[in-house]
Amino acid sequence: MTTNRLFVALGAVSLVALLLVSACTKSGCISGAADCRTEAPCQKVAFACSETALSVRQLDDQRQRVPGTNALGAVGDYELSNAYTRAVVAGLGHAHYLDPNGGGLTDLVAVDGGVDSLNQMLQIVGVLPSEAAHYTSIEPIEEPGLVGLQLKGTLDGRPDQPIYTRYELRPCDQGIRVRTEVLNGSPDPQLYTLADGFYWSKREPIPFTAEPGAGFRHPSFGLTTIDTVFAKFPFLAASTHNEEASSFSQVSCTDEYLQGFNSDTVSAGGLGRTVVPPRGWLFFERFIAVGAGRDIESANRIALSVREQVLGEKHVTLTGTVERAGALRLHGERETNVVLSLGSLSDPPEKRTPWSHVIPAADGRFSALVPVGKALVVEVHSFGVKQVEKDVAAASADADIGTLTLPSTGKVTISVKAQGSNAPLDAEIFVVPADEATKAATAGTFFGQFGTCAPWLGSPPGGSPACNRILVRSGTATVEVPVGRFHFYAFHGPFWSLSRQTVQVDPSMQALDFTLRSLNQLKPPGTLSADLHVHGAASFDSSIPDFDRVLSFAASDIDVIVSTDHDVVHDYAEIVRQLGLQAQLSTVTGVETTGHIPWLKVPGYIYPLVIGHYNFWPLKYDPALPLNGAPYDELVEPGELFDRAKPLFTASGVIELNHPWSPAEFGRDLGFPRAIFLDCTKDLPGSDDGSNNGVFVRSPKGGFHNHGHDAQEVINGSQADGLLPYRAFWFYMLNQGLLKTGTANSDSHSLVDSTIGMPRNVVWANTQAGPTFDVEVLNAAIKAGRVLGTNGPIITATIEGVPGSGNFGFSPLTPGPGSRVRVTVTAAPWVPVDEVRFVVNGQVVKTVGNLPVPADPFGEDGLQRYSGTVELSELLQSVTTDAWLVVEAGRTLLSASDLGGGLNNVKDGIPDTTDNNGDGVIDSADIAKGQSVGPLNNPPAPGPNDAAFHYAQITDNGYPYAYTNPFLFDRNGNGTFDAPGVKGGRP
């Protein structure tokens, strides 16, 4: 063979290769053709029906939004619908949560009575922000027998990695078909797990998968341990836990299993992790079934029909009946959950594979589709406790498993009235086991999710009863309670007495009558109570129904609520009217902006950050707009976000920094100063000097500075578990001369996680709740610092011997030689107050303890705990500069130290660790294993004989704390308050 022939041979090989390339079909969009269409998904799947209706449209009216508090559809979004299903895809630019530019599925409902409980489903190839689809075009598809949407884009920030998705609906589909293709056009091997990402975000639907030991239970993981929890499952289903009818189930149209991971925060279901070298591409076809039910089975039976068509899998229907003597109701998640698992009772639970979850009908009948020829275990859970389990033999045909009998419960009718007037009260009842046996017998959980409650009266994130809490409307409520001995506490806010009855609940009807006394003298004249941070079902991480949410406001006797749902504006006004509360309760529409997409880089730290959470109010509620009119909050620094929000305020607005030093959750920072490793041992620079503190002071767009908020939370939540760091950060800000109003909010997402109004802001504002309420006046008072933050104690404090009002707030006072502070501390008898503290420029300079304890915590006497005056000269003696004074009252604060926590774990001036080993010293031995600092533990839960026991039941083991906003002292007489600096004006 000559050399020439060899070269010819090589050339021929190359030519054949080129011919092979040209012969490749150009199907789908992977070729990048401008007019391409992704192949129709799930072509093996067909459903029969007589319906022909099909529609694809772009929403042009807010009234077209699907029902449900999680519905996000806005004008400009796309809807696919048939006679069974409505699916809404966010329009371009309508970014939500983890979706950077629209195209994610935001709403999915069954037409026949379903509501939307889907926060978001988006296409991803991994867990990083750059591994989500960023679509740049959406085109409607209308073809004979189908409608669809063609989406084209790239992975976010990766223009060389195109991604294409086709949503499709056919006339008989009870759910939506989806095909996604992604191409690695980069020069590097990539790791793709092409999947649907479901954003549950806790307190919402919990994923259910058929894996050994799984069902609703999934191993916990963090961002760095996701690999360890990757699993295979035949379907990924979810349903609501607030009695809304919404169930969905994702199933592959090509493969036997989905692969991914699951938690109560996020799930991913799709292809396995695949190394994709350059030019490789993947596709993923799936059907997402939706049913109008409250259990997994409602959607899963549709998904299983897909598996029958795709895989030839065979199923049979098992039926059965649940009965409970004297039951008020059987067909609710709190009363009856039937779970069918593959396996037998001889298998340990972790070896059984939960297959379906069913809530029976009103008559106790249930049915479920299960694999043919498989032995099963059926379990019935009631009030959070497994009550029945039995083996079911493998069935080759439809079968009935008979009647399953549950133990009876007690029926309790509760009445709450006001003493004197006998007027019925809206109230909240807390049910607490009165003995250990009852606690052990009634401790329940929803399959390990949402925590444990004793008794478990309902799903914690849902409506009343939830966990151990019951809302009483207009003075009455009737509930089922497991048998046992319980304390029943009736609560109507901190300005009312607390009442308790201890009863043995047995399987009969019982009546509990409570009378509460108004302690209105506790409420300082000219004030109103405001909770400036509450969530309801509109939030992606809350599912408490609006009705119960508003009722909980009334139950806590709050005057003003600011609705601050995550990333969406929501308005409770209509529910307030329906409940007849408009004369006593005013609601303000706002938002809590919530960063989801990490992006911000700060000096010395490799990982990108989000900017945490901020509240903005008042905003216009406009459901025609994306996010109901809230500002888009991703990929901007706080200052730019403030710039965006300012024109959206409908009156003088307030910007509040929430939980400023809260640790990140799932890689998402919750508080900006902590996120950027603010060093509170150093003064802030005048401008951005390239340091982390410089990030805090800079103005990203020339408008607001990043520290341009008006207020910050000092207490967040009923447990006040972040108090010590929030308080320290607030004191740091005051020392820097950054006068931010310290606020106290419940941040309640349900009846359980925090009690509304505990804590609250007592605001000295010349307006009142009801028709004449003026948010301008409220906001002006808040911005002026005329706020007392409290979860029980009430402090009235004035400076005597100074010109002017002598009130605390941000108007500087000029003290003279005889100036003194007069302080009175009062509290309801059930609120323990151990001491009064005087804090000057960040340090406690005087403590008054040994305060009297009321003899009867359920009485009305002993409200005043302290009254006295203290000379300012005594308080300010250690300070040479201008000064500020905060008066605190409540339980003695735990000692805590700053052991690190800053960048590279240097000390940052913020306490991070308590004496966790109890040796009297706070040192590295107190740091939890695997952590660099912490934890900060709250005081131990008080025992039944402790005076604080009753208070702890209302606040989930919180502890009383109240504080004034600062008095400012212009001691050098220059007419202004000069920042004392990080040392607080001390040597």
Partner 1 sequence: MTRTVGSAVLALWCLSSVSAQAQDAAGAADGAQPSVAAPPPAVETAPPFVCDDWRAPGLLEGPAAIGYTTTDFGTARRACPRTELGLGANMGLVIDRPNFYGNIGAQGLVYGSYALSQRTEIFGTLAFIDYQQVIGALTQSSLALGDMTVGLNQGVYATKRLVGSVVGRVLLPTASNVPNSRTLGAEVGHAVSLRASSWLEAHAYAGAGLTLGLSPAPLPRPSLLGLIGVQVSPLSWLSLVLDVSGGMANRSFLAPTVALRFRVYSLGIELGATLPLLGTDRHFVIGGARFAYRF
Q: Using CB under 8 A as the criterion, which residues of the chain lie in contact with partner 1 when the complex forms?
A: 1, 3, 6-7, 10, 13-14, 17-18, 20-21, 24-28, 30-32, 126-128, 131, 183, 185, 187-191, 193, 223-224, 226-227, 230, 273-283, 606
Give the span between the Cα atoms of 149 and 153, in whole angstroms. 13
- Spatial CA neighbour of 321 closest among 293, 356, 357, 363: 363
Identify which of residues 34 and 606 has a Cβ nearer to partner 1 in the complex: 606
Give the CA dihedral 976, 977, 978, 981, nearest 10 degrees. -170
The DSSP output letter for 647 is G
**Shortest distance in whole angstroms from residue 931 CB to partner 1:** 21
The tokens describing 982, both together, are: 């990080």
Q: Considering the complex, state which of residue 224 and residue 904 has its C-beta at the smaller distance from partner 1.
A: 224
C-alpha 633/C-alpha 641 separation (Å) is: 6
Nearer to partner 1, 33 or 509 (CB): 33
Q: Which is nearer to partner 1, 78 or 233 (CB)?
A: 233
Instruction: Report in angstroms how near the CB of residue 232 gets to partner 1 at its nearest.
Output: 14
Output 28 or 73, the one with its CB closest to partner 1. 28
Burial of 582 (0-12, 13-18, 19+ CB in 10 A): middle
Nearer to partner 1, 164 or 446 (CB): 164
CB of residue 269 to partner 1, shortest distance in Å:
15
Which of 6/46 has CB closer to partner 1? 6
To partner 1, the closest distance from the beta carbon of 193 in angstroms equals: 6
977: CB partners within 8 A, 6+ apart: 737, 739, 810, 812, 882, 884, 968, 969, 970
Q: How far is the CB of 280 from partner 1 (least distance, A)?
A: 4
CB of 309 to partner 1, least distance (A): 24
Rounded to the nearest whole angstrom, what is the least distance from the CB of residue 29 to partner 1 in the complex?
9
The total of other beta-carbon atoms located within 10 Å of residue 366's CB is: 26
- Joined together, the tokens standing for residue 380 give 């019935």
Residue 902 and residue 909: Cα distance in Å, rounded? Answer: 9
Give buried/exposed letters for 546-577 (b at 16+ CB in 10 A, else e).
bbbbbbbbbbbbbbbbbbbbbbbbbbbbebbe
- 227 or 861, CB closer to partner 1? 227
Q: Residue 278 or 849: which CB sits closer to partner 1? A: 278
Minimum Å gap between C-beta 667 and partner 1 is: 9
3-state secondary structure of 547: helix
Q: Minimum Å distance from CB 1 to partner 1?
A: 8
How far is Cα 908 from Cα 732, in angstroms, rounded to an integer? 11
Closest distance of CB 506 from partner 1, Å: 54
Q: Is the peptide bond before 854 cis (omega within 30 degrees of 0)?
A: no
Under a CB-based contact definition with an 8 Å cutoff, are residues 282 and 181 in contact?
A: yes
Q: Which is nearer to partner 1, 29 or 472 (CB)?
A: 29
Burial-class residue 418 by CB neighbours within 10 Å (0-12, 13-18, 19+): middle
Residue 320 Cβ vs partner 1, minimum distance, rounded to whole Å: 41
Do 808 and 884 contact (CB within 8 A), yes or no?
Answer: no
Q: What minimum distance in Å lies between the beta carbon of 186 and partner 1?
A: 9
Q: Between 133 and 568, whose beta carbon lies closer to partner 1? A: 133
Of 630, 739, 758, nearest in space to 965 by CA: 739
CB of 187 or CB of 987, closer to partner 1: 187
Distance CA 831, CA 854 (A): 9
DSSP string, 216-240: T------TTSGGGG-EEES-EEEE-
DSSP string, 429-456: EEEEESSHHHHHHH-EEETTEEEEESS-
As measured in angstroms, the least distance from the Cβ of 783 to partner 1 is: 40
Q: Half-sphere exposure (CA, 13 Å, Cβ side) for 810? A: 17
Give the Cβ contact number of residue 960 at 10 Å.
25
The residues with which 417 forms a beta bridge, in sequence order, are 424, 515
Tokens of 905: 């774990």
Q: Which two tokens stand for residue 628?
A: 């109901």
Contact present, 592 and 615 (Cβ < 8 Å): yes
600-to-603, 609, 703 alpha-carbon distances in Å: 10, 5, 19
* Closer residue to partner 1 in complex, CB, 186/811: 186
Look up residue 201 and give its amino acid.
S
Shortest separation between residue 641's beta carbon and partner 1, angstroms: 24
| Closer residue to partner 1 (CB): 151 or 739 | 151
Phi, psi of 206 (to 5 degrees): -105, 130
Q: Which is nearer to partner 1, 27 or 931 (CB)?
A: 27
- Which residue's CB is nearer to partner 1, number 123 or number 589? 123
Closer residue to partner 1, CB minimum distance, 274 or 937: 274
Residue 18 CB, shortest distance to partner 1, in Å, is 8
* Nearest distance from C-beta of residue 593 to partner 1, angstroms: 25
Residue 680: half-sphere exposure toward Cβ, Cα within 13 Å: 26
Rounded CA-CA distance 361/407 in Å is 18
What 3 state SS string does 486-546 have?
EEEEEECCCCECCEEEEEEECCCEEEEEEEECECHHHCCCCEEEEEEEECCCCCCCCCCCH
What distance lies between CA 17 and its chain's CA centroid? Answer: 55
Smallest gap, in angstroms, from Cβ of residue 25 to partner 1? 7
Q: Which is nearer to partner 1, 90 or 610 (CB)?
A: 610
Residue pair 411/328 in contact (Cβ under 8 Å)? The answer is yes
